[in-house]
Chains A and B, each alone.
Chain A
Amino acid sequence: MRLSLEWLDQHAPTGMTADEAATTLTMAGLEVEETEESDLGPVLNIKVTPNRGDCLSVVGLAREMAAAARKPFIDAVAADTPIGGEAADLIQVTIEAPDLCPRYAARVVRNVTIGTSPEWMQRRLSAAGMRPINSVVDVTNYVMLELGQPLHAFDLPLVRGSAIRVRRSAPGEAITTLDGAERPLAEGLLIIADAERPVAVAGVMGGADTEVGPRTTTILLESAHFDRKAVRRSSKALGLQTEASYRFERIVDPDGVVRALNRACDLIAELGAGALVEGVVDVYPGAAPARTVTLRLARVSQMLGFDLSVDEVRTSLQALGFEVTECEGEALAVQTPSWRPDVVREIDLIEEVGRVVGYERMPEKLPSGATTQGGDSDLGRQTTLAREVLVGAGLTEVVGHSLVAATPLDEDGGERVAIRTALSSELSGLRRSLLPGLADVLARSVRRGQPQVALFEVARVFHEAPGGHTETLSIGALLHGAPSTDAWRSADRPAPADYYTVAGLAQALCAAFKTEPPVLRRTADARFHPGRSAEVVVGGEVLGVAGELHPTVAADLGLRERAVALELSLAGLVAAGRRTMGFIEPSAFPGVIRDLAPRIAADTPYQAVRQAALDAAPATLEALALTDVYSGPNLPAGSRSLTLSFTFRAQDRTLTDDEVEAAMAAIRASLERECGATFVV
């Protein structure tokens, strides 16, 4: 809300400068976002939190200002007029929806001359950001700013039957609002109707049919209390937010309805803009009793953390308009003012006391209760372990977007979680895979002239599933080219990443999470090169995929070299991992190493060769390593030679040559039998 300092000063004479006033209001919870100059002097732009509808007015802000500055508050005054009177003979007000309109008041003004409002009023309106229109409209706006109560003036002769019916809209009804827009009304919106048709959307905007104009002679002035949800519904349904709807949504003082009306009439009379008809029509079916809340002094001190005297508590609350009706022992009975519907419990009063007294008086303490055991979450520890492996392998972590467009790289075979009413394709759904985000970073890095990257991310991916979605942690890695390095010796330059780089990462991750070694199995994942990719399978479960990106995917990303990627389910790794602790004591006895170089058909996968060797090996086989793969002109076409290195070792003795030779003979026989291996030596 924008408010000139001189207007604020009229109701809270503090004599403060604009800066002092801004600080005082800000520290009271009414943040002054900026101060501007105007021909009325400084204007404060105040951010009012949604719980404080009462502060969308000059008197509301002045009350806060005066309480914070410990200065007197000067309320606005309005002349009284009797209930009923002549006005009651001229108009008929019926509330047909009392649940949505607890109160509706109206007055009538005759002999209206629509002119311009005086300069002082126009200036204050302009400073508050409102455009002066004519004397009557300006008065309604001025009173809304002053007291927070939105008002509306109808051209009474145009109100058919001189009837005001506050009701829900019927099917098929429509209204042309003051802004000239013709608006169909959804059924059940709260409207003001005359005898025949809608004349205003309650609390939002009036209708053009009954608009006050230059030829207006008699007006009906409305001041009402509309339900916040009803106004919010209309405002949303029509896509129309006004100064009035903004206030009604945040609750206007129901007890201030008639005062605002009378205040507006006073101003109309003062301006000579019309002759007041005596009497006010006040239909008030929803009067709520005043609320009284008990406040214990000890509780105030306990919650705020420092001691306050009963006098301090009482005067703080009184300054804000609360009535302390009883003071018994250590407890106060506090009646909340009608403009503070947000105060319902003791803790709300404690906050009010704290605000007025000032939080700067609050000491800094530390919780003195029982100590608690801190620690990271399981997910946190698992994520950290995955990161350690990937950082150790030289990869750089990125943080990608959870919200992504539906791209081919995100097509992991699962169903996407889509955002309802997405504003753009980039924000249209949740990622199923970490690869699109990594690819996006790679593509931008290539465009910046840094094509060599090794990236990873550990984050959540989402899948829609029958009976609910899944949200699981995933590990993604993407490498392109050789790791960038400043090395000047060729020996220090690493080789470009290829399929085996990401397969190795998968194996390292499995080892870190203590799973069985993964089995790599060809995959039909369309995102990958069909001949250079594999599913990563552990214990029969597919945990992810590793491989070279499909050439068409790479081309779309603008890549010149082969890019390789890995995506593994972190949750899957955890589930497959061994959680028991323990170790195997390293043997004190020497190991025996034997090499074997079978020639095998090139299309026999290594996995089969390895399995054939392991199947025949005794328990003393400690390790089997592949140390060379050779294919060349001096081998028969379609075959290759693998060098396998076997390490044997026993826990309890030195192995004999005979034992080792027997084991090697069995392995050799198995390779011949299972894989058609031949041996040169």
Chain B
Amino acid sequence: MDDLARLVAEAEAEVAAAGSTAGLARVEAAYLGGKGALQAQLKTIGSLPKEDRPGFGARLNAAKATVLAAIEARRSDLAAAEARRRLAAESIDVTLPGAPPLLGRIHPLTRTIQQVKSVLIGLGFRIVDGPELEDYAFNFAALNYPEDHPAFDEQMTFYVDDTRLLRTQTTALQGRTLRGAQLPLRCATVGRCFRYEAVDATHHHTFHQVDVFMVDEGVSMADLKGALKQFAGAMFGGDVQVRFRPDYFPFVEPGVDYSIYWQGRWLELGGAGLIHPNILESHGIDSERYSGFAFGLGIERIHMIQNGVSDLRWYLANDLRFLRQF
């Protein structure tokens, strides 16, 4: 073994023995650096016979390449090991609780209203808004309530004066919307209503309603039934059945009370029917050509059914322990 071969063997042994990338850098400098052992061999080239010089140069280059390859291979191993050690040292208890983001949340009634609106908008209904402090005329007279009739007794009303009251039903908006309306028309309104009711698990003086109505040529009770099936299906999920039971509301004829069959039971949802022709005619709509349906239901009721809430009072109590769950 000549000097060159010995140097390569020594270098390889030292590379293998290097325990860190820093140690390896020292080995690299010792053999391949400007003052390194292999570099020093270059100086011996002048003492060789002329014909041996090219051969030695080639062997020297090969030796340097061999050592460099060994260093690179070792460096990559060492770097990986060092990275592993560093990462291991940085390890933390990943089971500690995360830093809680500061999340706001909307009220469950808002969420339900958003769901109702999005279903109705998808069915081509335009959302409209009306006043909560309403004219007597729109809340009752325009809805075909007979003058001085016991039908009023069923809706104990908060009056401000003879002409202004807190709307007892979102249906009050119908007259405002039908006045001068472009037909066909599909509208819905969602909002607060007020009735003098003793507050209990199923009654409140303040509650929210959605009222939906459409006017077009040839709208029938069967269309109403189909629309309700679609709406209820979207709100509650699954293939719901709709059932009508005759009921009386001055603003619809026929008037019904509708229920859906959902999860093995019939649930009463609200009132519905065909818009009374008296109302259509009072807005100059030809009731022979056009007919319409209307249905309404309580927003609280929807959320109660969806979540199994049994007491209406939770919604206006604003107990954060309740709100946080939705």
Contact = CB atoms under 8 A, between A and B. Distances in A.
B121 A375 contact: yes
B76 interface: no
Contact of A398 (B107, B184, B220): B107
A362 interface: yes
A410 to B, nearest CB: 16
Contacts of B254: 303-304, 347, 350-351, 354-355
Contact of A486 (B97, B105, B324): B97
A90 B272 CA distance: 54
Nearest to B159: A420
B127 A50 contact: no
A49 B247 contact: yes
Given A50-B149, A351-B246, A375 B126 contact: yes
Contact of A372 (B124, B129, B230, B276): B124
B172 to A, nearest CB: 13
B320 A453 contact: yes
A454 B185 CA distance: 41
Contacts of A394: 102-104
B158 to A, nearest CB: 5
A380 B192 contact: no
Contact of A365 (B126, B127, B217, B222): B222
A485 B315 CA distance: 24
B223 interface: yes
Contacts of B324: 396
Contacts of B17: none
Given A305-B220, A396-B104, A486-B97, A229 B148 contact: yes
B132 A380 contact: no
A483 interface: yes
Contact of A471 (B99, B103, B131, B147): B131
B320 A380 contact: no
Contacts of A453: 320
A363 B102 contact: no
Given A31-B245, A51-B248, A402-B206, A417 B160 contact: yes
Interface stretch (A183-191, A488-496, A525-533, A670-678): A488-496
B122 to A, nearest CB: 7
Contact of B106 (A366, A375, A397, A494): A397
Contact of A51 (B151, B161, B230, B278): B151
A121 to B, nearest CB: 29
B216 A396 contact: no
Interface stretch (A281-289, A384-392, A659-667): A384-392
B150 A29 contact: no
Interface string B180-199: 00001110000010101000
A512 interface: no
Interface string A365-390: 11111111111110110001001001
A306 B253 CA distance: 17
Contacts of A487: 99-100
A465 to B, nearest CB: 12
Contacts of A360: 243-244
A451 to B, nearest CB: 11
B253 A347 contact: yes
B318 A441 contact: yes
B33 to A, nearest CB: 42
Given A365-B223, A396-B323, A359 B245 contact: yes
B319 interface: yes
B102 A50 contact: no
Nearest to A460: B132
A366 B226 contact: yes
Interface in A390-436: 390-403, 417-421, 423, 427, 430
A111 interface: no
Contacts of A401: 206, 316
Interface residues of B, number: 87
Tell me which of A233, A249, A303, A444 has the highest count of chain B C-beta atoms within 10 A of its own C-beta.
A303
A371 B124 contact: yes
A139 B227 CA distance: 51
B126 A374 contact: yes
B246 to A, nearest CB: 3
B61 to A, nearest CB: 48
Nearest to A345: B277
Nearest to B150: A50
Interface string B245-270: 11110100111100000000000000
Contact of A367 (B148, B158, B223, B276): B223
Given A359-B246, A369-B217, A402-B194, A377 B318 contact: no
Given A28-B246, A397-B106, A372 B320 contact: no
A460 B194 CA distance: 14
A580 B220 CA distance: 43
Interface size class of A (residues with CB under 8 A): 35 or more
Given A402-B194, A403-B205, A494-B102, A380 B291 contact: no
A377 B128 contact: yes
Contacts of A421: 159
B283 interface: no
Interface string B224-235: 011101100000
A485 B222 contact: no
A483 B242 CA distance: 46
A408 B97 CA distance: 43
B218 interface: yes
Contacts of A370: 184, 216
B56 interface: no
A314 interface: no
Given A304-B222, A360-B243, A367-B216, A374 B253 contact: no
A469 interface: yes
A420 B159 CA distance: 6
A328 interface: no
Nearest to A52: B248
B230 A365 contact: no
A250 interface: yes
B67 interface: no
Interface string B143-170: 0000111110110001111001010000
B255 A397 contact: no
Given A347-B277, A380-B117, A50 B153 contact: yes
B120 interface: yes
B41 interface: no
A578 B272 CA distance: 41
A355 B227 CA distance: 20
A469 B133 CA distance: 9
A445 interface: yes
A396 B320 contact: yes
Contacts of A445: 319-320
A450 B205 CA distance: 27
Interface of B: 96-97, 99-100, 102-107, 109-110, 114, 117, 120-129, 131-133, 147-151, 153-154, 158-161, 164, 166, 184-186, 192, 194, 196, 205-206, 214, 216-223, 225-227, 229-230, 242-248, 250, 253-256, 274, 276-278, 291, 315-316, 318-321, 323-324
The 8 closest A-B pairs by CB, nearest first: A305-B222, A29-B246, A305-B220, A351-B254, A394-B102, A391-B104, A49-B248, A374-B121
20 contacts: A49-B248, A50-B153, A50-B248, A228-B148, A347-B274, A355-B254, A363-B222, A365-B222, A368-B223, A374-B122, A374-B186, A376-B127, A380-B127, A380-B129, A403-B158, A417-B133, A419-B158, A419-B159, A445-B319, A485-B102
Interface of A: 26-29, 31, 49-52, 228-229, 232-233, 249-250, 302-306, 345, 347-348, 350-351, 354-355, 359-360, 362-377, 379-380, 384, 387, 390-403, 417-421, 423, 427, 430, 441, 444-445, 448, 450, 453-456, 460, 462, 469, 471, 483, 485-489, 492, 494
